[in-house]
């Protein structure tokens, strides 16, 4: 019987465990798209609509049939993408040229590789969450003129409340998460109407946690990541946007209703056994991450474009 690629692959269990627990502090896309495991590389996205929050008539009389419910439906197709990079530990880093790198050196090589893979995922997640075409007209707005939060006369709290009510009227539950781009957060924390709300309670600078309390949200995070293309041009990954969404705090699996998920092949990211390459005079650490972010409950999201 032919072996699968996962059976052929020899995995380093210690470094794979480290890789699966890895989080880059400034990469916040997993807040909107938490990781859930899948066992196939392609299929259909389990999507959620109003039926996931419907009030069902569950009461039954003795001897009568029990109603059945099914949450979620098979929507758009998905196909996992496989990102793979190799970390390198030059032989010169070792005291003995024939010595195998210890866990510390191997871990450092893997962490650097994971940082690059995490940035790629952050870019994919941001593109999905901030593309206006993914939302219907009731779940997005683009601020212009004096409505922009960079204008002292604008009303950020009013805009957030409009987004919250739009989600609640669509799926019956308020969004609990707000992702602000760095540009959006920069103007928000200096906005006179926001500062006014805290002047009697705190002299500290406005923080995401303070905004979460102000707007009755569970989580507020700031997307600060910047990338550079092959020509050296900088890319502000989250651009000039704010995204409200409902995301379960600790999803038990892809069956939990959510704005989005990062479908991730079971056991990924994984680190294969290191090997020595004579030509590079280095130990090589292959890292593979098979995943794809997907929108599973777009009606539970609300996009605010150009707030700054």
Helix axes 13-20, 103-130, angle to 10 degrees: 30
Answer whether residue 58 is part of any domain: no
Answer whether residue 69 is part of any domain: no
**Structural tokens at position 179:** 């992702």
| Predicted confidence (pLDDT) per residue in 217-253, tens digit | 999 999 999 998 888 889 999 999 999 999 998 888 8
pLDDT at residue 7 in the model: 41
Answer whether residue 4 is part of any domain: no
Quickly count: other Cβ atoms within 10 Å of residue 15's Cβ. 24
pLDDT at residue 72 in the model: 57
Out of 7-11, 186-190, 275-279, 299-303, pick the least confident: 7-11
pLDDT at residue 48 in the model: 76
Provide mean pLDDT across the span 154-181: 96
Which H, E and C letters describe 76-123, residue by residue? EEEECEEEEEEEEEEHHHCCCCCCCCCHHHHHHHHHHHHHHHHHHHHH
The Cα–Cα gap between 25 and 203 comes to 26
Q: How many domains does the chain have?
A: 1
Identify which of 125, 170, 99, 98 has the alpha carbon closest to the alpha carbon of residue 28: 125
Alpha carbon distance, N-terminus to C-terminus of the chain:
59
Question: Is 289 buried (19+), middle (13-18) or exposed (0-12) by CB count in 10 A?
Answer: buried
Confidence at 3, pLDDT banded by 50, 70, 90: very low
Does 195 have pLDDT greater than 70?
Answer: yes
The Cα–Cα gap between 238 and 126 comes to 6
Sheet of strand 241-245, all strands in order from the earlier edge strand to the far edge: 140-142, 301-305, 241-245, 177-181, 219-223
Buried b (16+ CB within 10 A) or exposed e, 112-138: ebbeebbbebbbbbbebbbeeeebeee
Does 8 have pLDDT greater than 50?
Answer: no
pLDDT at residue 51 in the model: 64
pTM (2 d.p.): 0.85
φ, ψ of residue 195 to 5 degrees: the values are -60, -40
Does 62 have pLDDT greater than 60?
Answer: yes
pLDDT at residue 208 in the model: 96
Does 68 have pLDDT greater than 70?
Answer: no
Which stretch of DSSP H or E encloses residue 226? strand 226-228
Out of 144-148, 206-210, 268-272, pick the least confident: 268-272
The Cα–Cα gap between 38 and 22 comes to 19
Answer whether residue 1 is part of any domain: no
pLDDT at residue 96 in the model: 55
Answer whether residue 65 is part of any domain: no
Answer whether residue 142 is part of any domain: yes
The domain in which residue 178 lies consists of 10-51+74-305
Torsion of CA 84, 294, 249, 303, to 10 degrees: 120
Provide mean pLDDT across the span 30-40: 93
Provide mean pLDDT across the span 260-267: 93
Confidence at 142, pLDDT banded by 50, 70, 90: very high
pLDDT at residue 9 in the model: 56
Answer whether residue 105 is part of any domain: yes
Give yes or no for a contact between 215 and 159, defined as CB atoms under 8 angstroms apart.
Answer: no
Mean pLDDT across the chain = 86
Identify which of 91, 80, 127, 108 has the alpha carbon closest to the alpha carbon of residue 19: 108
Does 295 have pLDDT greater than 90?
Answer: yes
| Predicted confidence (pLDDT) per residue in 80-139, tens digit | 999 988 888 887 776 654 455 555 777 888 888 889 999 999 999 999 999 999 999 999
Answer whether residue 35 is part of any domain: yes
Q: What is the CATH number of the domain that holds 134?
A: 3.90.1690.10
Q: pLDDT: is 61 or 286 the higher one?
A: 286
The Cα–Cα gap between 47 and 40 comes to 17
pLDDT at residue 13 in the model: 75
Identify which of 304, 300, 296, 301 has the alpha carbon closest to the alpha carbon of residue 48: 296
Spell out the residues 6+ positions from residue 218 whose beta carbon is closer than 8 angstroms to its own. 176, 177, 212, 249
């Amino acid at each position: 019987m032919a072996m699968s690629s996962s059976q052929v692959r020899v995995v380093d269990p210690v470094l794979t465990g480290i890789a699966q627990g890895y989080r880059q502090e400034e990469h916040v896309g997993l807040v909107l798209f938490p990781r859930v495991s899948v066992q196939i590389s392609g299929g259909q996205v389990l999507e959620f609509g109003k039926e996931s929050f419907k009030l069902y008539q569950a009461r039954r009389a003795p001897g009568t049939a029990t109603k059945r419910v099914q949450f979620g439906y098979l929507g758009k197709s998905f196909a996992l993408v496989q990102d793979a990079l190799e970390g390198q530990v030059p032989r010169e880093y070792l005291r003995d040229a024939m010595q195998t790198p210890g866990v510390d050196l191997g871990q450092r090589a893997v962490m650097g590789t994971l940082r690059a893979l995490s940035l790629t995922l952050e870019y994919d997640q941001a593109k999905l969450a901030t593309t206006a075409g993914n939302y219907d007209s009731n779940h997005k707005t683009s601020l212009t003129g004096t409505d922009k939060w960079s204008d002292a006369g604008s009303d950020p709290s009013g805009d957030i409340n409009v987004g919250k009510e739009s989600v609640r009227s669509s799926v019956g539950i308020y969004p609990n998460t707000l992702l602000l781009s760095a540009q959006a957060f920069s103007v928000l924390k200096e906005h006179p109407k926001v500062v006014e709300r805290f002047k009697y309670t705190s002299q500290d600078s406005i923080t995401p946690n303070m905004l979460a309390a102000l707007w009755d949200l569970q989580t507020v995070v700031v997307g600060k990541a910047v990338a550079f293309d092959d020509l050296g041009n900088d890319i502000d990954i989250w651009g000039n946007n704010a995204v409200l969404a409902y995301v379960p705090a600790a999803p038990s699996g892809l069956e939990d209703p959510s704005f989005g998920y990062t479908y991730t092949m079971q056991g990924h990211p994984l680190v294969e056994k290191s090997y020595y390459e004579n030509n590079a005079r280095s130990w090589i650490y292959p890292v593979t991450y098979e995943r794809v972010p997907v929108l599973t409950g777009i009606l539970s999201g609300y996009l605010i474009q150009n707030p700054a």
